[in-house]
A = this chain, B = another copy of it.
Amino acid sequence: MTGEIATDFTASLPPWLVDDLDRITTEPPATTEARIAVVNRLADRNWREGNGGPFAAMVVDAASGAVVSVGVNVVLQSNLSAMHAEMMALSLAQQALGRWDLGAHGAEYELVVNWRPCVMCYGATMWSGVRALTIAGEGAEVERLTGFDEGPMPPDWKGEFERRGIRVSVGVGHDDALEVFRAFGASDAVVYNARGSSEG
């Protein structure tokens, strides 16, 4: 190690997504179909822009769909391996609301992601205070199609969420999500955590 000890770090949304925020927030996605369509679209653009893996997330008001935050995977752009889409969306929502518990005061926020979170983001979702998780799919297809390692999830991962007051909804937009992974897998984009590899 040479150089100074870092005392802070910053993670940012990519410029193309900042430019897209007006479009995303102007018409709150009222239905699950509309919410998943947004994250599938952003996930696809994200890897093509080179920011990171094909993953996107949003925190929305569960009832109205009003968008609180948006996130994409910025591992490559930020040089930070923890900056998955869920981590960005949850942190940016907490920053916007000025509190570490999104569920405070009875608020009902929903995390929308284009696939089941990896084990890190599974925990991050649990600690965030969201009351619902909506994903397009949950199977091992993501690992098979993209090569990413998602980590060891507990068998009853949904039950563990539900016992902590987080509802889980799976399946809307499933085929579109797989299409994004398929396109990523067919490219030469960087897989920053190869499945089963010890090479990082």
Contacts and interface: CB of A to CB of B under 8 A. Distances in A.
A5 B100 contact: no
Interface of A: 1, 3-13, 18, 21, 25, 61, 66-70, 75-76, 78-82, 87, 90-104, 118-124, 126-129, 149, 151-154, 156-157, 160, 163-166, 192-193, 196-200
Give this chain's copy count.
2
Nearest to A153: B154
A127 B81 contact: yes
Contact of A6 (B3, B6, B92): B92
13 contacts: A5-B68, A5-B70, A9-B11, A9-B91, A79-B94, A82-B82, A82-B90, A102-B200, A119-B123, A121-B123, A127-B151, A152-B157, A163-B198
A11 B9 CA distance: 6
Contacts of A101: 81, 192, 200
A63 to B, nearest CB: 12
B68 A1 contact: yes
